[in-house]
Chains A and B, each alone.
Chain A
Amino acid sequence: MTNQYLKQIVNKNYQYGFITAIESETFAPGLSEEVIRQISKLKNEPEFMLAWRLKAYQHWLTLSPPKWAHVNFPEIDYQNIIYYSAPKVKKDGPKSLEEVDPKLLETYKKLGIPLHEQGRLAGVAVDAVFDSVSVATTFKTKLAEAGVIFCSFSEAVQEHPELVEKYLGSVVPYRDNFFAALNSAVFSDGSFVYIPAGVRCPMELSTYFRINAANTGQFERTLIIADRDSHVSYLEGCTAPMRDENQLHAAVVELVALDNAEIKYSTVQNWYPGDEEGRGGIYNFVTKRGACRGKHSKISWTQIETGSAITWKYPSVILQGDHSVGEFYSVALTNHRQQADTGTKMIHMGKNTRSTIISKGISAGFGQNTYRGLVRVLPQAQGARNFTQCESLLLGDTCGAHTFPYIEVKNPTAKIEHEAYTSKIGVDQLFYCRQRGLSMEDAVCMIVNGFCKRVFNELPMEFAVEAQKLLEVSLEGSVG
């Protein structure tokens, strides 16, 4: 009985599923050296970029897609993907918001992301990536005053090639894995952030990714460098239209934190998850990694993963600097036929390095949710500490939760704690809430939100509320 109620609750519709009719410049599907040369040429890239892309491509050709994740999907035909699609603009991309196609601004407005600087998210600088290219970055001047560089990746390549050359691929080399190699060869844009030494970034930085064109892969690249004693908080959000076919999103995010620097990276991932039967939806295969290079540096990943047909990602931290800190806070929700295999890697290299992993998986419908995490302590990492807590919540009998923790400790002074639980949404809790007058739907949302509280607390204020709402929407029709 309860299950039936639950079933009715967890199915709201994806509200970002619209398509923007916009003229775009789109390549024919397929991947070849020629395509890569074209992308590089279109972007007027310096020689080192093209050389790097081509090396990545040559390496990619030697690889085959990985198979180890606990996910199921038909083989992807990489020759059937469009590797570049950009809204048509007068030459070189928009110089200011006035030059951005009003249709695009309208799209972002529908998504609740005003690009006009007086927008709702006042105080948050936004870079918006539409299909393959960045369309607008807000609050540029204010940030420039603080010395912060926040721009599209393409612009960074033009304006700050020395920084790009120094750091690109330094955390996620193109040899890292199949999707990272592919991304390195074909990525067309993304966001770039540099926070100079001693600067606390005066506002939240944020990027919104939007896939619009059909059959298009989105391969963006984000690079964030926090110089000595600096601080930045960065948020990424994503949506896509509803389409019957699957679309590939293979991004790479690299973070570098130098001495005493802190990077907080939050993701609210709401790519189109596919329909109830599992038709369509985004394949979200992303490589995210941060390097705590300096001593006392800190990198913190917070992710709310509610979208995508398949999510496959492990935001990780390499703790090189002594006393550096890595954190991973995750909520992953899978409903209907969604699959998620997500977690983190914490690689302890420096002395007295610390890491914390808090993972909350929620499965509903026929969703499959896997936590996969690696904690590795190298021999020189004296005094390393890790605390891991993975909890899974099942809503109904047809979904699944799986936990694969890998722990490799090569230093005897390390302290590793690991806790894992799986629970079903409690009949007693539901009844208690309903006895107090809450509807079944509100009761489920409340309990699930409570379950995620620890992670939501890590999100910047403005987004914690959004995340909560998103979870409610994603839960609709989920339980049964």
Chain B
Amino acid sequence: MLKIKNLHASIQDEKQKTKSILRGIDLHVKPGEVHAIMGPNGSGKSTLANILAGREEYQITQGEMWLDGQNLMDLPPEARATAGLFLAFQYPVEIPGVNNMYFLKAAVNSVRKQRQLPPLDAMDFLTLIKSKMKEVGMDEKFLNRAVNEGFSGGEKKRNEILQMLMLEPKLAILDETDSGLDIDALQSVAKGVNSLRDPNRSIVVVTHYQRLLSYIVPDVVHVMVKGQIIKSGGKELALELEEKGYGWLNENVEQV
């Protein structure tokens, strides 16, 4: 489903100095698999997620990324989205004045158009969204609010999951969707994600906490440090990290 080969990326700061962030990422996520990416703050997890989604301010200096046989490099963000890539943002943005339901409907119909499906009419859409909201434990009043505006941290995360369920992506990347969630919210988010698990779908979760991974059990766990995946393993790796932290892995980091 997702293939990343030797991906290097950097960014230019205000002084036009180049800072390299990703330094040779290799990742292969097969259909039906759930991968977790863990790693210290600032190691490049969100950058990787954003680059996969098509964020334009990064320079990709080397490497390849493929989604389901499609070269992502050539596609603008909206084409990646309609091709089935979904990113639940670490910090979902607020869009004042834009009705949440209207936004989701536009998104769903844009993705459906790409899949050559007719747009959902208002009634069907409403029925569908109400059932999904129940699934993630969101009150219906959020439909008529502006996208994420004034939402609490947890409400924003639930809204991301709601969007994911509505868009039914092939590849879902969840960037710290669990941080800031209370126990109940964590469970409903996990439930939502698990309901999406399917042999034809892949999920990548970026997280700092083993706790989420006891609800969404990953097939593979990766550790990213300083822009490299320095270790990969089974779900036990997450437990080990929880116990020992990242220090013991430092010898695996290639020096630049």
Contact = CB atoms under 8 A, between A and B. Distances in A.
Interface in B152-168: 163, 167
Contacts of B114: 437
A419 interface: no
B81 A437 contact: yes
Given A432-B89, A434-B54, A438-B107, A450 B97 contact: yes
B111 A437 contact: yes
A439 B92 contact: no
A450 B93 CA distance: 14
Contacts of A451: 96-97
B53 A435 contact: yes
B167 A437 contact: yes
Interface residues of B, number: 31
B167 A446 contact: no
B87 interface: yes
Interface in A428-467: 428-429, 431-440, 442, 446-447, 449-454
Q: Which of B76, B78, B107 has the most CB of A within 10 A?
A: B78
Interface string B70-103: 0000001110111000110100110111100001
Contacts of A434: 54, 76-78, 81
A361 B167 CA distance: 34
B96 A450 contact: yes
Contacts of A440: 76, 78
B98 A436 contact: no
Contact of B78 (A1, A439, A454): A439
A46 interface: no
Interface SS of chain A: helix, strand, loop or mixed? Answer: helix
Given A437-B111, A438-B106, A429 B78 contact: no
A442 B93 contact: no
B134 interface: no
Contact of B103 (A2, A426, A428, A446): A446
B87 A442 contact: no
Nearest to B78: A434
Contact of B95 (A437, A439, A442, A450): A450
A438 B95 contact: no
Contacts of B146: 450, 453
Contacts of A427: 57
B82 A449 contact: no
Given A433-B107, A453-B97, 11 more contacts: A428-B93, A431-B77, A433-B95, A438-B106, A442-B110, A446-B106, A449-B97, A450-B95, A450-B97, A450-B98, A454-B97
**Top-6 shortest CB links A-B:** A450-B97, A453-B97, A450-B98, A436-B107, A434-B77, A437-B81
